[in-house]
Structure 1
Amino acid sequence: MNKRAIARVTAAAVATALPLSVISVLGTGAAVAGEALTTAAQSETGDGRPASDFRDAATVNDPFPTRAAAEQRNYVEESKAAWRDYVYQAEDGSNEAEQATWKAGDRYKRMEERLVHSEAMNRDIPIVTIRARDDHANAPTIYLLNGADGGEGAANWLRQTNAVDFYGNQIGNVNVVIPMEGAFSYYTDWEQPNATLDKGGKKQAWETFLVQELPGPMESALGTSNPNRSIIGMSMTGSTTLVYGEKYSGFYDSIGAYSGCAATSGEAARTVDIVLDRGNATYEQMWGDRNGAVALENDALANAADLKDQHNVYVSSSTGLMGEHDVPSGDRLNGFLPGSITPAVEGGAIEAVTNVCTHMLKSKTDAAGITRESNNLVYNFRNTGTHQWGYWQDDMFDSWPTISEGLFPGNGAEAVRQRDAGKADYLQKNPGMGARGSTPVSSLIPLQESVSDALAEQYGEAAE
């Protein structure tokens, strides 16, 4: 098989956010202290930007008081709502001892499930929020996007990371908003309908929903007057957040893109096909001709120069070589030897390709003069690591100084302290043996070179 053929085959695996067998080993507690406020949804933007910036206002309902109330509404399939385990207390009452006034089925304090209606898509969407513990009236908002399964399966921020504890307790003065639908959608506006993914509504319009419909009403419902907001994505949505930064420069005050492939059009559309195949959808349904205008508009690599007006951007990728989260001696597998197979075979190949994409992106932003000095554009290239949640949790910590600079300008020293404290707390609770047990897979190097050649041919520049 020649180098171009290898690139085509392997690039098809990029950006999938696979629910790897290794990612189901963390059971983070979702309980956080503090009272939740319940305010009715309002149509004002509440962020200092004109209401005309929002084409349609989403309807944000009050949070469900209990799991039973949410299930009775029956607006989301229960089989795709396992994330509720991290929003509501255990039905068997096993955790009531933590707080004598809690009752089984009630929601954890400051954890909320809200039904949000999108006018653009004419459908009800589940949103989970982590309410700010401190000074909620002045708390900025972080929008966390899940990967390819949209949070409908096991691969979501609540189950696979300690985001609840990090943002909710260790930082404490931010609101977090997590959509729990949107599988295989790239959180973009689709050109054509798809009977499965539309879920009975109009054709998907996630970009319209997330950028135009949701922020004003949601932030008003959260009761904050702080106009600052961030958006963070990983794998599939790592490319989405970059596109948002290019199209809507400054709408988000900071952006995180973890292990995404910025290249999505033309030959690189093969990196998208595998995601859409899992959702019984096609590239043409989403963006039309893969060399057409809509496809190019949504290619973050092709439009890298448009990041010139976006500040506080963190972009990461690993090499695909097995690292501390992939080995049985590490913090994720708890000694489970077979768990290393999936990250070594699948996760390594996927991350090797995203690594090439991310180096290509850096080459283009460097050429455009978009740097750490000019824009606080920070790249984190790890020497080891595969395509899995352990590294995205690392990114959650490592990106915080960059994300925080947009939310709390000039708060750098405190952000570094919070980052380090978050890491230390996690490692204390999940020690593992770290990289001492790593087994690098050197065969990925030719793979990276092949993909680099293919992307360079399309985009006209070599990766670093």
Structure 2
Amino acid sequence: MPVGGQSSFYADWYAPACGKAGCSTYKWETFLTSELPGYLSANQNVKPTGSAAVGISMAGGSAMTLAIYHPAQFIYAGSLSGYVNPSEGKGWIGLAMGDAGGYKKEDMWGPDDDPAWQRNDPTVNVGQLVANNTRLWVYCGNGTPNELGGANLPATFLESNFMIGQNKKFQELYEAAGGHNAVFNFPPYGTHSWEYWGAQLQAMKPDLQSSLGAG
């Protein structure tokens, strides 16, 4: 989970990402799949294959997308309350980007009918995740807080109205496509907040280590 990339979906954008803080070049997929592993291999003796991508919220779907198109590099993808069906939520993405930093979704993947929206949608491309046999860990709460907290309105609203439905849809399509290498965790609680993501990262850790041979 890299630091930075506000509203980026950790993707290669068509245009400069211009927001309230100015303009940046967003080429996150290129950085994460070419530049960074190349540097680590050359300078730190880190192999460029057999890794994991794990993300929360917008980055949850992005972790899966990286595994779809770079299966040797990312053999494991974890999505926590992930936006896993972005091509069906373009309007909400545009609103969220504008609110978060003044960004425009068209600068990312073009107009609504541009193929990039489909290309970067794990639900649309679920069959490729099955074909790659990527190990998946998919978590999403239902918007109901428990003793961990996270009871504020944005956290409960996002999880119950946007995230849980698309994550369950992803599970249905994954299983219909013959997928059998995933953990799906949809408990009867959990909001869009770090209290639950932190707990879920701890729950995921043994599975991730085992899958990467690092346990």
The two structures have a TM-score, normalised by structure 2, of: 0.89
Is 2:60 the counterpart of 1:255?
A: no
Q: Give identity over the alignment, percent.
A: 25
**3-state SS of 1:209 partner:** helix
For residue 321 of structure 1, the aligned residue among 144, 149, 155 is 144
> Residue type of the partner of 1:229?
S
> Residue type of the partner of 1:354?
M
State the partner residue of 1:184.
7
For the pair shown, the structure with the greater C-alpha radius of gyration is: 1
State the partner residue of 1:274.
95
For residue 357 of structure 1, the aligned residue among 166, 175, 179 is 166
State the partner residue of 1:333.
none
State the partner residue of 1:238.
60
Indicate conservation of the 8 Å contact 1:312/1:377, yes or no: yes
> Residue type of the partner of 1:304?
V
Indicate conservation of the 8 Å contact 2:50/2:72, yes or no: no
The aligned runs of 1:313-392 (5 Å cut-off) are: 313-326=136-149, 343-352=151-160, 353-371=162-180, 376-392=181-197
For residue 299 of structure 1, the aligned residue among 106, 121, 127 is 121
The aligned runs of 1:14-413 (5 Å cut-off) are: 145=1, 179-196=2-19, 203-224=25-46, 227-265=49-87, 267-277=88-98, 278-308=100-130, 309-326=132-149, 343-352=151-160, 353-371=162-180, 376-408=181-213, 411=215
Structure 2, unaligned stretches of length 5 or more? none
Q: Which runs of 4+ in 1 moved over 2 A?
A: 194-201, 218-228
Indicate conservation of the 8 Å contact 1:254/1:405, yes or no: no
Q: 2: CA distance between counterparts of 1:402 and 1:274?
A: 35
The two structures have a TM-score, normalised by structure 1, of: 0.43
> Residue type of the partner of 1:363?
E
Decide whether aligned partners of structure 1 residues 184 and 391 sit closer, same or farther in structure 2, where only a CA change above 3 A counts. Answer: same
Q: 1: CA distance between counterparts of 2:72 and 2:187?
A: 28
> Residue type of the partner of 2:172?
S
Q: CA deviation at 1:392?
A: 0.7
Decide whether aligned partners of structure 1 residues 407 and 321 sit closer, same or farther in structure 2, where only a CA change above 3 A counts. Answer: same
Decide whether aligned partners of structure 1 residues 180 and 197 sit closer, same or farther in structure 2, where only a CA change above 3 A counts. Answer: farther
The aligned runs of 1:417-456 (5 Å cut-off) are: none
Q: CA deviation at 1:228?
A: 3.1
> Residue type of the partner of 1:209?
F
Structure 1, unaligned stretches of length 5 or more? 1-144, 146-178, 327-339, 412-464
Q: 1: CA distance between counterparts of 2:133 and 2:111?
A: 28
> Residue type of the partner of 1:370?
G
Indicate conservation of the 8 Å contact 1:184/1:276, yes or no: yes
Q: 1: CA distance between counterparts of 2:61 and 2:42?
A: 28
Q: 1: CA distance between counterparts of 2:36 and 2:76?
A: 18
Decide whether aligned partners of structure 1 residues 225 and 189 sit closer, same or farther in structure 2, where only a CA change above 3 A counts. Answer: closer
| Matched positions, count | 212
Q: 1: CA distance between counterparts of 2:21 and 2:124?
A: 28
State the partner residue of 1:136.
none
Deviation by residue 1:75-100 (Cα, 9 ceiling, x = unmatched): xxxxxxxxxxxxxxxxxxxxxxxxxx
Q: CA deviation at 1:216?
A: 2.4
Q: CA deviation at 1:220?
A: 4.2
Indicate conservation of the 8 Å contact 2:48/2:73, yes or no: no
Decide whether aligned partners of structure 1 residues 306 and 350 sit closer, same or farther in structure 2, where only a CA change above 3 A counts. Answer: same
Q: CA deviation at 1:404?
A: 1.4
**3-state SS of 1:313 partner:** strand
**3-state SS of 1:216 partner:** helix
